[in-house]
Structure 1
Amino acid sequence: MTDTFKPGPDAVQIIEREACFRGFYSLDRLRLRHLQFSGEMGPALSRELFIRHDAVCVLPYDPQRDEVVLIEQFRVGAMGKSASPWLLELVAGLIDTDEQPEEVALREAMEEANLTLSSLWPISEYFPSPGGSDERVYLYLGRCSSQGAGGVHGLAEEGEDIRVHVMPLEDALDAVRDGRINNAASIIALQWLALNRAEVRGLWS
């Protein structure tokens, strides 16, 4: 293995790409080779790639009250693998038009939680499952007032049925610790806020 390994434009060779499924999401099968750490080109590999729109997730936070706003909704992927397929999550949406990530965050906060966000604080951009999906997540903290937040929201034409929860940050962190909050974006955002709470409150209060 060499410490000077630096992938260039020819580090990955696509031998064949087959469209296996096209719908709201897509699935492709690729045959490819990639450069190895030895400096040699590796063997041909077969990989399926789940193609998704990039996503935006935002954690609404009230710095005055030290409260977060989370949403609860049904998630088909959690069926059979979780105590309940209704998950506590962040406000989220897909970038499926020419909107910028910040625009999606503001729009989804209104659609899913009836919240107006006055500021956005970028937390991270990350790939939640790069072994088989090309989805990238833009993660934000959103400044809001949690006073009066609640109720059930979402777009009826999209079948959304979303319940809003307002929680002290410490209660949300307890929910991460005991597994009630068990999805990646929520865990990442809440842990980030726990680490950066003093700075955020100092600038936003």
Structure 2
Amino acid sequence: MKFKEETIDKETLYEGKIVDLNLHDVRLPNGEVSKREIVNHPGAVAIIAYTADDKIIMVRQFRKALEKEIIEIPAGKLETGEQPEETAKRELEEETGYKTDQLTKIGSFYTSPGFSDEIVHVYEAHTLYAGTVATDDDEFVELIEVTLDEADKLIESGDIHDAKTMFAIQHVKLKRIQNS
């Protein structure tokens, strides 16, 4: 690797429920030493799920880091030892009350590679059936269903303002263009 940075020392600054923060001393490709603050995250999934009438299932929730409510596709953190597809099925049911036996992976992406190793695996779910909503004790969500046009308007208004949801909406739009 041409630009590899070798970690020569590492200090854990914080170990949390969702993320850990580590400070790395690294040797740069030119031999100099620098510091890197790295947020470690176990990874996550996001699910773009469709109702029988082709609406997209989303959730509205307050995001403390942003100090506002946003609308997102259902998503959640990987648990230790859990495969992304299992997490996607679990999170879909927990947040929306819908279950599926058919998930299609549409891609993965790193959220902020400059300081975090978090990767989000995005799935698509079409054939849904009733399950049970079981949000976490500290999780409050409102279920909403939108058309693709309504999703575009929510992006324009800033109500949808996160990468995973925008990535999923773009996927749907491209897929529809390819299939027309």
Q: One-letter code of the match for 1:102?
A: E
Is residue 191 of structure 1 aligned with residue 174 of structure 2?
no
Is residue 60 of structure 1 aligned with residue 39 of structure 2?
no
TM normalised by structure 1 equals: 0.78
Percent sequence identity over aligned pairs? 28
Is residue 18 of structure 1 aligned with residue 11 of structure 2?
yes
* Cα contact 1:173–1:191 (8 A) shared by 2: no
1:55-98 CA distance string (max 9 Å, x none): 11111123x5221000111111111xxxxx11101111111221
* Equivalent position of 1:101 in the other structure: 84
In structure 2, relative to structure 1, the CA distance for the partners of 1:194 and 1:133 (3 Å cut) is same
Aligned ranges for residues 77-116 of structure 1 at < 5 Å?
A: 77-79=65-67, 85-116=68-99
Q: One-letter code of the match for 1:73?
A: Q
* Equivalent position of 2:25 in the other structure: 31
> Following TM superposition, by how much is the alpha carbon of 1:132 offset from its aligned partner in structure 2, in angstroms?
1.0
> Following TM superposition, by how much is the alpha carbon of 1:42 offset from its aligned partner in structure 2, in angstroms?
4.3
Find 1:155's aligned residue among 132, 135, 144. Answer: 135
Tell me which structure has the larger Cα radius of gyration. Answer: 1
The structure with the greater share of residues assigned to strand is: 2
**What SS does the corresponding residue of 1:175 show, helix, strand or coil?**
helix
Q: One-letter code of the match for 1:60?
A: A
Which sections of structure 1, spanning at least 5 residues, go unmatched?
1-6, 36-40, 80-84
**What SS does the corresponding residue of 2:65 show, helix, strand or coil?**
helix
Find 1:43's aligned residue among 28, 32, 48. Answer: 32
1:124-175 CA distance string (max 9 Å, x none): 11111111111111111111459x99xxx4435x322111001112111221
**What SS does the corresponding residue of 1:20 show, helix, strand or coil?**
strand
What RMSD, in angstroms, separates the aligned Cα atoms of the two structures? 2.5
For 2:169 and 2:85, locate their aligned partners in 1 and report how far apart those are by CA, in whole Å: 19
> Following TM superposition, by how much is the alpha carbon of 1:197 offset from its aligned partner in structure 2, in angstroms?
2.5
Number of matched residues?
179
